[in-house]
Structure 1
Amino acid sequence: MSADAGPAVIVLASGRGERFVASGGRGSKLQALLAGKPVLQHTLEAVRDSGLRWHVEDAGHEGMGDSIAAGVRATRDAGGWLVLPGDLPLVRAESLRSVAAALASHGVVLPMYQGMQGHPVGFAAHCLQDLLLLSGAQGAALVVRAQRMADRALELELQDPGIVADIDTLPDLARAERLLAGR
């Protein structure tokens, strides 16, 4: 697939979920049941429904930066990347498509919901080398900062509370159940 083929969604599924266990959860937060299905399955259904190319990065990397770099390496021929943590089970497929479309004219796309930054964060193809160099826990904050300074970042307001509804604790899981029931 060539770089003009469009962006790929990188689903990050390597985290240890320490806050989930500390809150009383058992096992992986990505396997915790939400409306009878694992959290990660909900996330992947939205990714599949988006129609975008995707890759799950679940090799157990040390930090988010390492996971992002590995996902970009696995899809390096993509025309950009949408970085989506696997613990966002309520994200909507149309939100993924909106971020992908905005990458056509911006270096970084930061999805926003009522003033809060969410996911997936989109990165244009020209960010490839910077993303491949990521390591550690910080993620891609330095890449985002560089794109902001170059005036290539877009804050994209979306009407999707799912972009900010991540599952880090048992109360987060309960909140997601309520939001899902209200859809």
Structure 2
Amino acid sequence: MHSSIPVVLVLASGRGERFRASGGQGSKLHAPLAGRTVIEHTLAAVQASGLPFHVEDGGHPGMGDSIAAAVQATPDAGGWLVLPADLPLVRPESLRAVAEALERASVVVPVYRGTRGHPVAFAREHGDALQALAGADGAAAIVRGSLALRLELDDPGIVTDIDTVEDLARAERLLATR
């Protein structure tokens, strides 16, 4: 029996090479940010959204591989919201808004002031294609091949990912102004 509720796929498999190259120590997901780690902030938002979630941290070689493994691990999901774990400022309301928009389209791409962000959502009908993904491009080809709904959200957190120590400092400043 499939649920109609989409599952948030928190992708935590990346190697964080750009973060270390910028001077960061260790995993960007475990870097301190306002008293918690980056991934703790992300997971707190996911939990506060009330949506079911799955953390994919199997050390996959690319985002496509991570998405495929996460979809395979959640076969009864009503759809999927693909959320890289390095988006610590994403708001719970944004996650819920993207999930609700899946009722109107099979692919939903959130947008903040013209910039595409995450989570990108996919209806169940894309399950086979998502499970077939591999490599670094993630699900970009599925998005391009669909009539994706662009959902404007007033949430800079959907585009604030942590790739460098500069990104971490910017996120810290943004959190301080909330």
Question: How high is the TM-score relative to the length of structure 2?
Answer: 0.98
**How many Å apart are 1:106 and its aligned residue?**
0.4
**How many Å apart are 1:11 and its aligned residue?**
0.2
1:147-171 per-position Cα deviation (integer Å, ceiling 9, x unaligned): 1xxx3x1000000000000000000
Tell me how far apart the structure 2 counterparts of residues 74 and 4 of structure 1 sit (CA, whole Å): 14
Deviates more, 1:80-89 or 1:3-12: 3-12
**How many Å apart are 1:36 and its aligned residue?**
1.2
Tell me how far apart the structure 1 counterparts of residues 74 and 67 of structure 2 sit (CA, whole Å): 11
**How many Å apart are 1:81 and its aligned residue?**
0.2
Q: Does 1:182 align with 2:174?
A: no
Which runs of 5 or more structure 2 residues have no equivalent in the other structure? Answer: none
**How many Å apart are 1:145 and its aligned residue?**
1.1
| Contact 2:4–2:79 (CA under 8 A) maintained in structure 1 | no
Q: Tell me how large the CA RMSD over aligned residues is.
A: 0.7
Question: How high is the TM-score relative to the length of structure 1?
Answer: 0.96
What is the aligned residue count?
178
1:172 corresponds in structure 2 to 167
1:102-161 per-position Cα deviation (integer Å, ceiling 9, x unaligned): 0012010000000000000000110011001000111001111111xxx3x100000000
1:46 corresponds in structure 2 to 45
Tell me how far apart the structure 2 counterparts of residues 181 and 52 of structure 1 sit (CA, whole Å): 26
Tell me how far apart the structure 1 counterparts of residues 87 and 116 of structure 2 sit (CA, whole Å): 13
**How many Å apart are 1:176 and its aligned residue?**
0.2
1:88-167 pair list within 5 angstroms: 88-147=87-146, 151=147, 153-167=148-162
2:15 corresponds in structure 1 to 16
**How many Å apart are 1:4 and its aligned residue?**
3.4
Tell me how far apart the structure 2 counterparts of residues 60 and 145 of structure 1 sit (CA, whole Å): 26
2:163 is paired with a residue whose SS is coil
Percentage identity across aligned positions? 66
1:64-103 pair list within 5 angstroms: 64-103=63-102
Aligned structure 1 segments of 4 or more residues deviating by more than 2 angstroms: 2-5
Which runs of 5 or more structure 1 residues have no equivalent in the other structure? Answer: none
